[in-house]
Amino acid sequence: MLALPIVPLTKAAFAPFGDVIETADVSPIVINDGFANRFNDLANIDVATGGGDICISLFTGSIRPKPIALKLMERHPLGSQLFMPLNAAPWFVVVCTDPRVPASYRAFAASGQQGVNYARNCWHHPLLVGVDASPFLVVDRKGEGNNLEEVRLDEKDWLHLAPSEAR
């Protein structure tokens, strides 16, 4: 298996694949008589294709065996898909431009303060958590039409996350 290096998740590095959701460089709006901060417009939610609506869900991710093998990639042709961790635990994000081309893969280490919004049609690996039973808020599309395309890789084509990074 080819080892895929993991780099820190940044807005610039992830831009071809969607949005990084974080508040580090965003000025909040003070609301509720000064007792809350609101961070607006952190992601481009794209779900209207084919009359879709927003769906808000909670996912709970489980740890995968080490080394983490990348066997399956998916994309959503009718809408974006946002993942935001709720437990502040680090996690991994794997994307590519073509699941059959190993050189097109990118792996990112996300802090527990960062979420991602995969752009419509962005190939990505299903949820990869660093802590068992990690909860995530998920915003994606519901409605008519098939919004899931999967590619299962042959075992000879599996990649894995570089072991020094995937702890």
Determine the number of helices (DSSP H) and then strands (DSSP E) in the chain. 1, 17
| pTM reported for the whole predicted model | 0.93
**What's residue 115's pLDDT?**
98
Strand partners, 13: none
3-state secondary structure of 118: strand
Cα separation, 72 vs 92, in Å, equals 15
Residue position matching structure tokens 């898909």: 81
Q: Within its chain, how far is the Cα of 82 from the centroid? A: 7
Residue 108 dihedral angles phi and psi, to the nearest 5°: -125, 145
Percent helix / strand / coil, the chain, rounded to 5: 10, 45, 45
pLDDT, one tens digit per residue, over 31-84 is 999 999 999 999 999 999 999 999 999 999 999 999 999 999 999 999 999 999
Taken in order of first residue, the domains within the chain and their CATH numbers are 2-161 (2.60.120.480)
pLDDT by residue (tens digit) across 112-165?
999 999 999 999 999 999 999 999 999 999 999 999 999 999 999 999 998 665
| Structure tokens that stand for 70 in this block | 């990348």
How open is the CA angle 147-150-155, to the nearest 5 degrees? 170
Nearest residue to 89 (alpha-carbon basis) of 114, 107, 58: 114
